[in-house]
Chains A and B, each alone.
Chain A
């Protein structure tokens, strides 16, 4: 624990302090006794790996080795090797870094290696943008990793402790996704457990496959058409076991640490709810405030946080949403050419039920999502005034001007540069 931070006695077996989300995650990771960490720094993940490298260097992370590699592809490739020899492994990345490691991301899952990776969620370029949305982790949602999304920094820290246990029980890698800047750079009160409490929750890594010179095996064989489908089928079967295992782990975590964190989903004010807002990540906090405000206006609204996005808890969501009048998905991503990504999954979960699903694209590239805008969206959805997909707080003036300009001029030039001129700012005002 950092010496310079004032720790106060928290709940049972915990210490409470006002610390940055990235620092809390680094502390939680070290409490999990990782043996190999390899990472390449990239905003907004940097504070996590800086802290980890310092802790390893100072001898505060046991026998853990930290490798400062040449790229994200190198980082995950190192961990694939290390994990295959039976080491507990960790990395963190974001945005272009995640895309650069994409080939290794699929390999880690295909080889069944229980690596834990933090995604400090950030937009994907072009245009280059360092701020938060979910484009990065959504791009790799089907790579075979389990994906957990944190609402708060407390949950982000807790999810890492759960992630190692989940990954190693299933022999499947886990991404813990936390909103870049909004969580990684936020200072808030966090309870961190002590080492003995984590040790009794998370047993030492006992791998199902190990590269060992004394008992040579090969991992990573080429598989032809005769068995590829079966390998993939079994990987899918194994992956969806998380839908049973994660609630057990979250339950055990709550019993052990006296604090609810994680799980497949969490419902808020769902009793008698008629309209339900669904989202992932830190925006749930703002949505809860909006829900309270709307309840005061007499609108029967609740919200559901999807905590585990892969595997997708379709049956569980169907059960909790059955009988309601409408669903509004607030998602920080955009599938260009179709709209929502999460929405498509929720529509599948609700297949055959007469529940309209509205897609709200929000918070792209770090645009702030306000409770006021969210409340208006719910009112509009209830009045059936919402276009599909709906882009929250879209600056229609700028869009219309640019469309008109491009209509008149074929060589209209690059879009991003033109829009920067139109709004006359970059990242310097609250929008």
Chain B
């Protein structure tokens, strides 16, 4: 089983990200269970959402305390809540930011995790490029597909076209592709340098 925890703020599509991840896994023929943990149900309040993906039916309903994958949609949360609690030592970390890990002040902290398991991606910039708004969740899901290889990009895109019809679905699918490509192109660079690249 793969466990994913997504952190962000109310209004940023954190819950939708977990939903899309589960729909993509379903499209891939896997079992998936996604659910949120709301804060106080208001814009800007910290929000978490969880997704479990498995080849077997999923029974457990407990919150994800030991994520294999951590997705951080809002970097302002990095030092506010216990974001990295329970992260598996060989887990994956995806952070939406234009700064490097060291600039974010977590380079040393994440040193123990394999370098190709950590990626900072300018997801909000990608969102602006495709949707004229700093929507970070769909580029991050594309990046998730590239980094983990657990779900095919086409399944992620199909989940987005299903959720958002017409041009909005296409824009999200294109943003996911950019997120996917970003991870693949910067994967070989040394950590610290790769994170300055802009979306386009």
Residues of A within 8 A of B (CB): 4-6, 17-18, 20, 43, 130-131, 179, 181-182, 185-189, 282-283, 285-286, 288-289, 366, 368-371, 425-430
Contact = CB atoms under 8 A, between A and B. Distances in A.
A358 B96 CA distance: 47
Interface residue tally of chain B, by bracket? 35 or more
Most buried by A among B35, B39, B58, B85: B35
A189 B31 contact: yes
B193 interface: no
Given A181-B38, A368-B65, A371-B60, 20 more contacts: A6-B27, A18-B26, A130-B38, A130-B41, A179-B61, A185-B15, A185-B35, A187-B34, A187-B35, A189-B32, A282-B61, A285-B58, A286-B60, A286-B61, A368-B63, A369-B62, A371-B62, A427-B37, A428-B39, A428-B48
B63 to A, nearest CB: 4
A18 B15 contact: no
Given A4-B165, A187-B23, A286-B59, A428 B81 contact: yes
Given A368-B62, A368-B65, A427 B33 contact: no
Contacts of B45: 428
B19 A20 contact: yes
Contacts, number: 98
Most buried by A among B19, B38, B64, B158: B38
Contacts of A288: 59
B36 interface: yes
Contact of A6 (B31, B60, B162): B162
A416 B63 CA distance: 24
Contact of B33 (A5, A43, A188, A283): A188
B22 A188 contact: yes
A379 B86 CA distance: 24
B112 interface: no
A285 B162 contact: no
A370 B62 contact: yes
Contacts of B34: 186-188
Contacts of B59: 285-286, 288-289
Contact of B32 (A187, A371, A430): A187
A423 to B, nearest CB: 12
A306 to B, nearest CB: 17
A429 B81 contact: yes
Interface of B: 5, 15, 18-19, 22-23, 25-27, 31-41, 45-46, 48, 58-65, 81-82, 85-86, 158, 162-163, 165
A326 B39 CA distance: 38
19 contacts: A4-B163, A43-B41, A130-B38, A130-B41, A181-B37, A181-B38, A185-B35, A186-B34, A187-B18, A187-B19, A188-B33, A189-B26, A189-B31, A285-B60, A285-B61, A286-B59, A368-B62, A371-B60, A426-B39
Nearest to B21: A187
B80 to A, nearest CB: 8
B56 to A, nearest CB: 11
B23 A18 contact: yes
Given A5-B162, A181-B38, A425-B81, A430 B19 contact: no
A371 B64 CA distance: 11
A36 B37 CA distance: 33
Nearest to A44: B38
A425 B40 CA distance: 11
A326 to B, nearest CB: 23
Most buried by A among B23, B34, B35, B61: B61
A427 B39 contact: yes
Contacts of B41: 43, 130
A186 B162 contact: no
